[in-house]
Structure 1
Amino acid sequence: MNTIPAQEIKRRGIAAVDELITKGDVHVIRNNQPQYVVLSEARYQALLEAEDEAHTARVMASLEDLRAGRVQRGTAEELLKELDMES
């Protein structure tokens, strides 16, 4: 994991991040804790695309469950009662 103290960025500017980002995501440390992550634009776009693909896959799986009759229909109240009984 690439890390850099926030103070280093404050002192050196974005050049401090430029050196590390070529090796991967950069975690910015502030008050001895990771606070931020700096990503390249390509990595950010890849994460957005993966998120969109995962969402589409979940929707498609839900639709298939509905078509196959694996979905129980009921009210929210019925579901809450059922969940409470399982606790």
Structure 2
Amino acid sequence: MNTIPAQEIKRRGIAAVDDCIAKGDLHVIRNNQPQYVVISEDRYQALLEAEDEAHTARVLASLEDLRAGRVQRGTAAELLKELDAEG
């Protein structure tokens, strides 16, 4: 991943980001530590889409578990009691 010091952005403005982001995602370094990540709009939209797809897959898998009887029903209190017993 590309890196750029925050001071460089202060000095050059958005042009500094434009130069680096063309090469890929960008870490902004502040106090010698990565503090921020800058990504392109296309990359951001792709990440949102992947997140939505993953969420849908988790819900579908949960529904399949429910249909297949792999889910125990009970109250939150019962679950907490069971977890305490295991600990």
Bucket of the pairwise TM-score, normalised by the shorter protein = over 0.9
Distance in 2 of aligned mates of 1:55 and 1:6: 34
Q: Normalized against structure 1, the TM-score is what?
A: 0.96
Distance in 2 of aligned mates of 1:47 and 1:31: 28
* Partner of residue 37, structure 1: 37
Q: Normalized against structure 2, the TM-score is what?
A: 0.96
What code does the residue aligned with 1:49 have? E
Distance in 2 of aligned mates of 1:28 and 1:65: 43
What code does the residue aligned with 1:75 have? T
User: Is residue 6 of structure 2 the alignment partner of residue 6 of structure 1?
Assistant: yes
Moved runs in structure 1, 4+ residues, more than 2 A? none
* Partner of residue 77, structure 1: 77
Distance in 2 of aligned mates of 1:20 and 1:11: 15
List runs of 5+ in structure 2 lacking aligned partners: none
What code does the residue aligned with 1:68 have? A
List runs of 5+ in structure 1 lacking aligned partners: none
Distance in 1 of aligned mates of 2:82 and 2:23: 50
Distance in 2 of aligned mates of 1:15 and 1:44: 20
Identity of aligned residues (%): 89
**Aligned-pair Cα RMSD in Å:** 0.7
